[in-house]
Amino acid sequence: MIKKILVLGTLAVFSVGCKTSQLPEPAPKPEKKKSSLKDYSSIITSEAKSDDGLFTTHFVDDKLYFEIPVEHFEKDMLLVSRIAGIPSGFGGGYVNAGSKVNEQVVRWVKRDGNVDMKVISFENQSDENSPIYKSVQANNFFPILYSTKIEAWSKDSSSVVIEAGPLFETEVNAINGISSRLRKQYKVKKLDKSRSYIESARSFPKNIEIKHVMTYEAETPPERDQAGTISMLLNQSMILLPENRMQPRLADVRVGWFTIEKYNYDSEELKADNYKIIRRWKLIPKDIEAYKRGELVEPVEPIVYYLDPATPEKWRPYFRKGIEDWNVAFEKAGFKNAIIAKDPPTKEEDPEFSPEDVRYSVVRYVASTTRNAMGPSVTDPRTGEIIESDIIWYHNHLRSYRNRFMIEAGAQNPNARTLNTPEAEIGEMMRMVIAHEVGHALGLPHNMKASSAYPTDSLRSADFTQKYGLTPSIMDYARVNYVAQPEDKGVRYIRMMGPYDLYAINWGYRYLPEANSPLEEKSTLDKWILEKAGDPVYEFGDGYSGADPQSQRESLGDDQVKASEYGIKNLKKVVPQLVEWTSRDGYGYEELDEVYRELQYMWRGYISHVITNVGGIYETRKTADQGGSVYEPVPKNIQKQAVSFLNKEAFTTPQWMLDENLLGKIESTKVVDRIQSLQTRALENLLNKDRLKRMVNNEESNTKESYAVVEMMRDLRKGIFKELYTSKQTDAFRRNLQRSYVDIAASYLEELENGKDREILKSDIMPLMRGELSHLKKDLNGRKYNIRHALTRYHWEDLVARIDAVLLMNPS
């Protein structure tokens, strides 16, 4: 468009030369307009603190100015908003320093004596020469994020000076650190400008970094001692996007990649054709002919990660290995030395080195109590090219892996039986966490389905685990081998990279020199997928549906019931040893309390892995040219086996968890409530409305082979109320569980009264729960006098009263 305007301008000049007398007075020259502005030196005084780079930033007193080169107007820039510092308790622990708030493309546009910053979208696309192009433009008008007047021109007229401070000192929703949900939760009133300010502004050759403090008045801040105030430090990165655009690669649901969605209005389809492209680094071989011959070739620009100068020396070798482990995968894609880990340069080696500089990707070591690690990246939304990424390792994540290793491997591995995990083991765990996060930064999402490719009992084999690891993908959540038993010698306990990772990197990164468009690549990419079709090692599942038992976080092996049996068997051996393993002379039992609580969390996870089989659906991602179904219900025998396991392990009082020696050191009276909470959560999960509806649907579509929902409820009732059917007394734990069963069933019927969930009102869940409660009431009335234990009889009479109350309030 700019070129077209220049051409028209040139034609106008030639026209002036031919017919001077017929033209109106010439427009004022730009210099005259500029002369009415302030002089550059009166704005950018000798007291200014300036930093040269993409734009020159100037601090004059308390004002921030941008000096924008004219050549950078209309250029695409990525504005990335992150939280750099947050108050304690913010977001309930789910928001950390480093969390991304927003990512959007902006352009700085000169408009007469003003400069606008517009937000640009590349989601809807059409060729400029297409008739529909004008309509696409008209119906996707770009909003103005910030507008300000030009304060001055530079002395050589190559740049303009604007005041940029108000963009970062006032509340702009697009770069705001507090979401609407948190704003409502904390009852945020307003931004206090007197306590909001710009902390720093740095300019680099390809990006600008602004840190600014935002202070809000809030009625209910995250912590009481915050005095009605929420202050947070935000970091705004403005990054110049490449002029030479990378060729995008079309995504495919059968291979896991982070993606960007697009809509093509030039499509021949009778709709706007939506498609996705993958996010990846731009890797081009130095010697394309050698690459074509199948030789390993270095890329023109390798992916380089620098270690944070704050990284402790003893952990640096493990971090470097975790980064460069991916070279094995890139070799599968034809590249050697594609990814390189470097120590941070000294001041002498690179005086301008900064982790904030977009030219440097850094593995940051953050001194924080946060127990996490992240692998975010910055992506060009036009093409999917990853521009830069910073892996974040929070120091206290060591604690997570120390605890998990003790809990899940303590029964089998002597090295796990200490709070001071040996360096070899904790270092290997750190290495694999870094490799996992680098995988995200390369474009790979979690593949929760990978672990189900391996037979569960293979994880007890030294030969198998040392060769293949715990799962085909490092991108799965499968951190510690909890399946292995104490008698299994030489097994691997820590995850590692697997064959799926090599396959995915080859699929996403192999350079296809003969293909001149994304569509020309597709047949080759499809061929690679079909070559692996039917092999579970190369299947992908993100685990988000919650319905596929083969696609779950922290699950190991293809048989979730057997894996959970092994896992709980190990937990039972660990509990009696925790006091010894976590105690230190002169210290209390805080570590014991923490590890014991996390052990219960692990137990809950094992139970959940089994529950997912009930009403579960196997998903195998396919395209229309592949035979067979995408969705298949879990076989009836597996679902019945799962409920049998639950009655035995989840809905029977876990006496092994109630170690008196342990509990006597960490609590006084909460043990009954603790077990009730665990069992009630499991029961609520099992009786989840979506699960029950799937069971009804499966029964209708496959009557003979399905596990009927009525049969499941009968099996469950016989387990939870086994004392009723065997005339035995109940203890406090069992009474709590039985009350939870009645309460959960009753909660569905109560929807008749409040009518909020119309989905339940119209489903078979209502008559199912009414029938179950009526059946249970009949059994309670017929058997409650068979027991002499008074509290048990009172308990059953109370259940009858509860059932009567809900049935009376909600008659059929």
pLDDT value of position 132 = 56
Closest CA to 580 of 419, 423, 426: 419
H helices of 612-688, in order, are: 636-645, 660-666, 671-686
Pairing of the two strands 124-125 and 159-163: unpaired
pLDDT value of position 2 = 37
Amino acid identity, residue 140? Answer: N
Tokens of 485: 């038993």
696 Cβ contact list (under 8 Å, min separation 6): 709, 763, 764
Tokens of 779: 């059994």
SS3 labels along 365-380:
EECCCCCCEECCEEEC
For residue 394, what are the CA distances in angstroms to 231, 310, 523, 552?
21, 11, 42, 25
- 3-class DSSP state of 8: helix
Between CA 589 and CA 575 the distance in angstroms is: 14
Closest CA to 626 of 541, 539, 717, 690: 539
Closest CA to 492 of 400, 373, 405: 405
pLDDT value of position 16 = 32
Between CA 477 and CA 76 the distance in angstroms is: 37
| Other beta carbons within 10 Å of 49 | 11
Residues of the chain falling short of pLDDT 50? 1-34, 270-271
Q: Are 513 and 488 in contact (CB under 8 A)?
A: no
754 Cβ contact list (under 8 Å, min separation 6): none
Tokens of 698: 């499966």
Quote the Cα angle for 613-618-623, to 5°: 170
Q: Are 610 and 564 in contact (CB under 8 A)?
A: yes
H helices of 229-307, in order, are: 288-292
pLDDT tens, 458-505? 999 999 999 999 999 999 999 999 999 999 999 999 999 999 999 999
Amino acid identity, residue 89? Answer: G
The percent of the chain in helix, strand and coil, each rounded to the nearest 5, is: 45, 20, 40
pLDDT value of position 329 = 98
Helices (H) and strands (E) in the chain, counts: 28, 23
The 10 Å CB-count burial string (b at 16+, else e) for 21-34 is: eeeeeeeeeeeeeb
Query: Which value, in Å, is the radius of gyration of the alpha carbons in the chain?
Result: 32
pLDDT tens, 55-84? 999 999 889 999 999 999 999 999 999 888
Q: Are 450 and 498 in contact (CB under 8 A)?
A: yes
pLDDT value of position 702 = 72
For residue 490, what are the CA distances in angstroms to 464, 485, 569, 770?
10, 11, 19, 54
Closest CA to 312 of 405, 426, 233, 406: 426
CA 369 to chain centroid, in Å, comes to 20
The 10 Å CB-count burial string (b at 16+, else e) for 560-575 is: bbbbbbbbbebbeebb
Q: Are 692 and 618 in contact (CB under 8 A)?
A: no
pLDDT value of position 354 = 82
Rama region for 448: left / alpha / beta (φ>0; ψ in -120 to 50; rest): alpha
Task: Measure CA of the first residue to CA of the last residue in the chain; give whole Å.
Answer: 69
Q: Are 675 and 743 in contact (CB under 8 A)?
A: no
* DSSP classification of residue 391: E
pLDDT tens, 201-251? 999 999 999 999 999 999 888 877 777 889 999 999 999 999 999 999 999
Name the burial class of residue 647, with classes exposed (0-12), middle (13-18) and buried (19+) by CB atoms within 10 angstroms of its CB. Answer: middle
